[in-house]
Chains A and B, each alone.
Chain A
Amino acid sequence: MPESLFKVNIEEYMLPGNRACSGCGLSLAYRYALKALRKNTILTIPASCLTVLHGLYPTTSVVIPCLNCAFASTGASASGILAGLKALNRQDITVVAFAGDGGTFDIGIQSLSGAAERETDFIFVCYDNEGYMNTGTQRSSATPIGALTTTTPFLTKQEHKKDMLKIMEAHDIPYLASVSSSYPVDLYDKFVKAKRIKGTRYIQISAPCPPGWVYPPRDTVKIGRLAVETGMVVLFEIEDGKFQLTGRSKTLAQRGNKLPVIAYIERQGRFSKISAEQVAQLQNWVDTRWEEYLRRAST
């Protein structure tokens, strides 16, 4: 067992008995994100699976203060909270915006870009479950090629996933990280690190979704692990422009034993109609990006 497990904050900020689905990848990642952020945090969340997890009035399942905002305004909402805290002279509080991939890649991108440009001192977290899962699995720009969704029900999605991490990197932010819910200790470490840094910080969590990706809930951790082992998700961090691979992706790069994407695809029902041509396209897309990451890690 990892020794670092004992360093993890033992307190739970997400209470049991919440509305998240059984085997939810977001729920697992959220538990560790809150453990790392601890008290003295204010959350702001747009419409997403996370609002469902937070629950209905008059009770909530999270013990950290949270502001619900409109879908497109997550970045602006965080800027507003910060302005309020500044007026009250409370400098010790971390503001964290938590949005889904729809609220980041598609709908929330303008307010996030604006907040990053203003160098707002907050952490923006995108949990990426590759679709609008809360409203019933619609396609988003984070959905990978070849996936079935309710808005691409026959032909599968024809386009590749948007590289949001590159877009955020172009904003020259001080800290940027990619994490997976299947590696909670790596996730925890990156959140602890992000909390100490000043400026706009962006963290993208890969969170497998059992109903949306169509696999049994018990496989959540396995699917997330396969995503990293096939290179669909790469664990890395960029701190002040310095790129480095972390955790499992680092050992994969050292040993060079990356699995083919088919190992990841075959376990999920959403890829049941993917064509051989699309598998080749996806493999090519993964390999090109992986080569680029390896080149950046070695310089």
Chain B
Amino acid sequence: MTKKDDNISAMCRPAIGEAGKTGDWRDKRPTIDHNKCIPFIKKKPACFLCWLYCPDGVITATIPISIDLDYCKGCGICAEECPAKAIAMINEEGKDD
């Protein structure tokens, strides 16, 4: 925490999880099948369309890709846009269709 400026009465500080763990908004959980994922098969940076289209930036452009399930809101854009259909949306426990 840096020193407070006396001229500013209300100032916000950046923090991850400003709205709490937004992962609990989710009805469906994205699950990756790495054997279908293009960068994982090719073993080099490619595709990463899930990273590109994720509105919350919780998917990493790494090999293998990983999803931060603490903050993933479960919109399902990644599963919809994946050209290899490597991401499936699976119901969270206790939540039905």
- A interface residues with partner B (beta carbon < 8 Å): 1, 5-6, 10, 12, 14-25, 27-28, 31, 54-63, 184-185, 210, 216-222
Contact = CB atoms under 8 A, between A and B. Distances in A.
Nearest to A21: B73
A24 B54 CA distance: 10
A12 B12 contact: no
A86 B81 CA distance: 45
A61 B18 contact: yes
A58 B12 contact: yes
Given A10-B61, A58-B12, A59-B18, A20 B56 contact: yes
Contact of A23 (B10, B16, B76, B89): B76
A59 B13 CA distance: 5
B46 interface: yes
B55 A15 contact: no
Contacts, number: 114
A61 B47 CA distance: 28
Contact of B18 (A21, A28, A56): A56
Q: Which of A28, A63, A184 has the most CB of B within 10 A?
A: A28
B22 interface: yes
Nearest to A23: B75
Interface residues of B, number: 40
A58 B73 contact: no
Contacts of A218: 75-77, 79-80, 89
Main secondary structure of the interface of B (DSSP, over half): loop
B12 A59 contact: yes
Q: Which of B21, B54, B70, B76 has the most CB of A within 10 A?
A: B76
B65 to A, nearest CB: 13
A16 B55 contact: no
A220 B18 contact: no
Contacts of B20: 17
Contacts of A1: 46-49
Q: Which of A6, A15, A16, A18 has the most CB of B within 10 A?
A: A16
A58 B61 contact: no
21 contacts: A15-B17, A17-B18, A17-B22, A19-B18, A20-B56, A27-B56, A56-B18, A58-B11, A59-B12, A59-B13, A59-B14, A60-B14, A62-B14, A217-B76, A217-B77, A218-B77, A220-B55, A220-B77, A221-B53, A221-B77, A221-B81
